[in-house]
Amino acid sequence: MTGTSGTGQPSLPGSPRAAVTEIFHHHYRRLVGLAGLMVDDRESAEEVVQDAFESLYRSWGRLRDPQAAVAYLNRSVVNGSRSRLRKRMTERAYDIPDAGTAPSAESLGLDRNERDELVEALRALPRRQREVMVLRYYLDLSEDQIAEWLGISNGSVKRHAFRATETLQKRMEAWA
């Protein structure tokens, strides 16, 4: 970021505005990618990340360690994405589905590349399996860290990861 502190950590500018701006420039795209894997559209992902940065700025004075700001943002984005999905599920429970509005197979496009197929398959996973996979492979968190973030046991993390991997493999093989 702006240099390094005595601990080897990148140092941040002194003012909250400058520090959050610098963190924004370094981490915004990555955080939108993280949120995009958890919610189902880019606009929602960008809103979740914007909310996380607003929250960081408002609470900057309460951070015990400004170097932990990126971890704060990671957690805020994951929690914000989960909240967005819960809200969306509640809204959809009250919507009456329209018959015949599903896109045809042709309109889905036959030219999807493997990444788009994988992201689609990931989004089709149950919420907890998707969260475990995103935290593991996008944020590169350990099983212990994932368990702590999600408030579940290590065994549950392993079980969700195994089931998600099985489902993704079967789905990708079917597309091959």
Longest dimension (CA), the chain: 63
pLDDT per position as a tens digit, 86-98: 887 776 666 555 5
Query: Percent of the chain at pLDDT above 90?
Result: 42
Burial class (CB in 10 A: 0-12, 13-18, 19+), 158: middle
User: Of 133, 127, 138, 139, which Cα lies nearest the Cα of 169?
Assistant: 133
pTM recorded for the entire structure: 0.58
102-111 in b/e form (b: 16+ CB < 10 A) is eeeeeeeeee
Query: Residue 103 has what pLDDT?
Result: 53
The full set of domains in the chain, from first to last, is 10-97 (1.10.1740), 113-176 (1.10.10.10)
101 in helix, strand or coil?
Answer: coil
| Displacement of CA 94 from its chain's centroid (Å) | 26
Q: Are 24 and 30 in contact (CB under 8 A)?
A: no
Q: What is the pLDDT along the chain (176 residues), one digit of tens a residue?
A: 555 444 444 567 678 899 999 999 999 999 999 999 888 789 999 999 999 999 999 988 888 887 789 999 999 999 999 999 888 777 666 655 554 555 545 444 444 566 777 788 888 899 999 999 988 888 888 999 999 888 899 999 999 999 999 998 888 777 66
Q: 108: part of which helix (H) or strand (E)? A: none
Q: Are 141 and 83 in contact (CB under 8 A)?
A: no
DSSP state letter for 6: T
User: Of 4, 52, 9, 5, which Cα lies nearest the Cα of 27?
Assistant: 52
Alpha carbons within 13 A on the beta-carbon side of 155 = 0
